Amino acid sequence: MKLFDVYPIYDISVVKGKGSYVWDEKGTKYLDLYGGHAVISIGHSHPHYVQMLKNQLDNIGFYSNFVRLPLQEQLAEKLGKVSNCEDYQLFLSNSGAEANENALKLASFATCRKKIIAFSKSFHGRTSLAVSCTDNPSIIAPVNQTDNVIFSAFNDINALETIFKMQGQEIAAVIIEGIQGVGGINIASDSFLQKIRSLCTQYGAVFIADSVQCGYGRSGKFFAHDFANVKADIYCTAKGMGNGFPIGGTLIASHLKPKMGMLGTTFGGNHLACTAALAVLDVIEQENLIANAEKVGNYVMSQLKSFSEVKEVKGHGLMIGIELFEPCDEIRKSLIFNHHVFTGSSSNKNLLRLLPSLAVSKTEMDIFLEKFSLALQK
Ligand SMILES: Cc1ncc(COP(=O)(O)O)c(C=O)c1O
């Protein structure tokens, strides 16, 4: 059997990882500032994470949600504290798309409404409703095309108000990334997020904060939406939550009530997944990684601003977009193959995305700055 060929990949196979570095099968060492699509939050193969997963595997790796899983309760309690969502409820799944899919479905159940507002350049995943809310027609299959999703311009308060004025009683939810990732590191303005909050409250709609990429401390705050000082009704997390172990979390405000059987999953919240997520939160706390993300992020962003080849530096913390005056794919290739640094792309062809581990050091970022400057010389 052959692989279903859907990924534009680089011809490198990664066989080992440690901290901010990965190695290929020939022993070449790469500085990983991409973390496999923003997934590596505490660094590759962190010893505490490895030990906790090994210990758990010695006991039991998996059981499903038909018995009590105390690890889920431990995770809910710890995540509630770290995220400042202690009075929320946690539903566990396996990916970012599922975290959003469940949030959207729950919003529709709770409001008995069908319409969802999403924004230009959004990316919310590839399951059916999540992809319908994603602003990329090329990945929406005909069966997922729907009039139930209304796209509005990102950060446009007037456009949003108009939709609510016309159809407010039909809106189940508004879904928004605090910082758009795939769309090219676009920050939702404080006033826009505050307006979403007030319109959702006024019209009885559910505010869903997609924090799959921008959340879990990456921005220098636990949720990027926290910059606007608003509380969403639902936060969706994944990526950094398991540092590579698949897990998604839907954090649900207490006014949204559960009903037996309304959501469900076979794998979600299993022993290994919860252990991975608990280990991640331990390390985030013990090593002060959210403060590190803010500090190192501010440092590298200020340095990047002095490059004449850089048009704009966007982002918060360790979610950084470097926008050049021209397409950056050659520079990205040069960074990988000549300078051994992994970076990411986005739907903005001129923009490089940096999504390193939250534990990345200033010294490692200095190495990047030096290699970036060499790659720019071509
Ligand atoms: C903001 C956002 N939401 C949802 C997803 C989907 O997550 P997953 O690929 O884990 O399903 C992504 C993935 O890139 C994302 O960036």
3-state secondary structure labels for all residues of the chain? CCCCCCCCCCCCCEEEEEECEEEECCCCEEEECCHHHHCCCCCECCHHHHHHHHHHHHHCCCCCCCCCCHHHHHHHHHHHHHHCCCCCEEEEECCHHHHHHHHHHHHHHHHCCCEEEEECCCCCCCCHHHHHCCCCHHHCCHHHCCCCEEEECCCCHHHHHHHHHHHHHHEEEEEEECEECCCCCEECCHHHHHHHHHHHHHHCCEEEEECCCCCCCCCCCCCHHHHHCCCCCEEEECHHHCCCCCCEEEEECCCCCCCCCCCCCCCCCCHHHHHHHHHHHHHHHHCCHHHHHHHHHHHHHHHHCCCCCEEEEEEECCEEEEEECCCCHHHHHHHHHCCCEECECCCCCCEEEECCCCCCCHHHHHHHHHHHHHHHCC
Q: According to the model, what pLDDT value does residue 17 have?
A: 98
Whole-number Å distance between alpha carbons of 283 and 260: 34
Mean pLDDT of 166-177: 98
Mean pLDDT of 113-123: 98
Distances (CA, A) of 351 to 57, 181, 203, 312: 41, 11, 37, 9
Which ligand 1 atom is the nearest neighbour of the CA of 126? 11
- Cα-to-centroid distance, 378 and ligand 1 (Å): 33
Residue 137 has pLDDT above 80, yes or no: yes
Q: Where are the domains of the chain?
A: 14-46+288-376, 47-286
Mean pLDDT of 258-271: 98
Q: How confident is the model at residue 252 (pLDDT cuts 50, 70, 90)?
A: very high
Rg of the chain over Cα atoms, rounded to whole angstroms, equals 20
Q: According to the model, what pLDDT value does residue 169 have?
A: 98
- Return all residues near 189 (Cβ < 8 A) that are at least 6 apart: 155, 228
| Interstrand relation of 234-237 and 248-252 (parallel, antiparallel or unpaired) | antiparallel
Q: Does 133 sit in the ligand 1 pocket, CB within 6 Å?
A: no
Handedness of CA 209, 212, 214, 215 (dihedral sign): positive
The strand pairing partners of 341, in sequence order, are 31
Q: How confident is the model at residue 146 (pLDDT cuts 50, 70, 90)?
A: very high
Whole-number Å distance between alpha carbons of 265 and 42: 27
Q: 244 and 36 in contact (C-beta within 8 Å)?
A: yes
Mean pLDDT of 73-91: 98
Mean pLDDT of 225-248: 98
Q: According to the model, what pLDDT value does residue 241 have?
A: 98
Which ligand 1 atom is the nearest neighbour of the CA of 214? 1
Mean pLDDT of 249-256: 98
Instruction: Take residue 9 and report the two structure tokens written for it.
Output: 């990949």
Mean pLDDT of 268-284: 98
Q: Does 210 sit in the ligand 1 pocket, CB within 6 Å?
A: yes
Residue 97 has pLDDT above 90, yes or no: yes
**Amino acid at position 195, single letter:** K
Q: According to the model, what pLDDT value does residue 27 have?
A: 98
Q: 196 and 160 in contact (C-beta within 8 Å)?
A: yes
Q: What is the pLDDT of residues 320-351, one digit of tens each?
A: 999 999 999 999 999 999 999 999 999 999 99
Whole-number Å distance between alpha carbons of 232 and 267: 26
Residue 378 has pLDDT above 80, yes or no: no
Q: According to the model, what pLDDT value does residue 258 have?
A: 98
Q: According to the model, what pLDDT value does residue 338 have?
A: 98
Residue 199 has pLDDT above 80, yes or no: yes
- Cα-to-centroid distance, 239 and ligand 1 (Å): 8
Looking at 3.50.50.60, 3.40.640.10, 3.40.50.10860, 3.30.360.10, the CATH number of the domain 47-286 comes to 3.40.640.10
Mean pLDDT of 271-278: 98
In CATH, what number does 14-46+288-376 get?
Answer: 3.90.1150.10
Q: 94 and 265 in contact (C-beta within 8 Å)?
A: yes
- Cα-to-centroid distance, 274 and ligand 1 (Å): 19
Query: What percent of the chain is modeled with pLDDT above 90?
Result: 100
Q: According to the model, what pLDDT value does residue 14 have?
A: 98
pLDDT, mean over the chain: 98
Mean pLDDT of 214-230: 98
Instruction: Take residue 279 and report the two structure tokens written for it.
Output: 């280990």
- Cα-to-centroid distance, 213 and ligand 1 (Å): 6
Whole-number Å distance between alpha carbons of 269 and 271: 7
